[in-house]
Amino acid sequence: MSAPMLRVENLSAGYGKVEAVRNASLALPQGSIVTVIGANGAGKTTLLNAVMGVIPSRGDVVLEGTPVSALGIEARVGRGLCLVPEKRELFGTMSVEDNLRLGAYRLGGGAIASGLEEVFGRFPRLKERRAQLAGTLSGGERQMLAMGRALMAKPRLLMLDEPSLGLAPRIVKDIFDIIVGLKASGVSILLVEQNARAALQVADHAYVMELGEITLQGPAAELSADPRIIESYLGFGGHAAAPAS
């Protein structure tokens, strides 16, 4: 069996003296969607930032069998790791197309043309808006652009931080359809979400984070039926829990 796409072991990270993630371990098999769910402030974003190298961390991050803990963000991008951050971090005063082109900065040349074609195929809306400044887009369009920009780098593992945050339900559905489509095209996905219901529907495996620690994990289908999850994250009472199949 090949090495997992991502293996995180005993990862601890934080800001200053506050440790927002403690001893987190997780694994993400090739070509799967793994989700990390948890309440606001549980440390999910910190976990992704630490895996990406945005903030310093202790512990091991292993990408396809290669340790990347010592590498900077740019080198991790070069190894096929991409983060779509919660705040999107777009280039607001540049056009949609320029944002996308810069997504393929490391690949350059022919990858830009083919990447643009692929991204515009997935997000026709971005094609309509290609000349518009990124800062003037709506919330949903910004999320599409952030995902499109990450896809331009041809990632092998895409990490999405709260892709549904602040979006209208119909757009959330579009975004999750696209996530499923990405998995079908062979991209592995690490999805961090507060919208546990939507995340568990698309994910193969799930982890639950509470107060900086991973407290529960299992196949997404099983967790969806777990009374503790239903009570805490899916928002209806324990009595409504369907028996696990």
Binding site for another protein (CB under 8 A): 52, 54, 73-74, 77-78, 82-83, 85, 87-94, 98, 101-103, 105-106, 108, 112, 149-150, 152-153
Minimum distance of another protein from residue 139's CB (angstroms)? 13
Nearer to another protein, 15 or 105 (CB): 105
Strands 6-15 and 57-63: antiparallel
Nearer to another protein, 129 or 149 (CB): 149
Minimum distance of another protein from residue 78's CB (angstroms)? 6
Q: What is the DSSP secondary-structure string of 188-231?
A: EEEEEES-HHHHHHH-SEEEEEETTEEEEEEEHHHHHH-HHHII
Nearer to another protein, 67 or 238 (CB): 67
CA–CA gap between residue 216 and residue 67 (Å, rounded) = 25
Nearest CA among 238, 232, 220 for reference residue 29: 220
CA–CA gap between residue 28 and residue 190 (Å, rounded) = 8
Minimum distance of another protein from residue 72's CB (angstroms)? 8
Minimum distance of another protein from residue 40's CB (angstroms)? 20
CA–CA gap between residue 28 and residue 189 (Å, rounded) = 8
Nearer to another protein, 44 or 76 (CB): 76
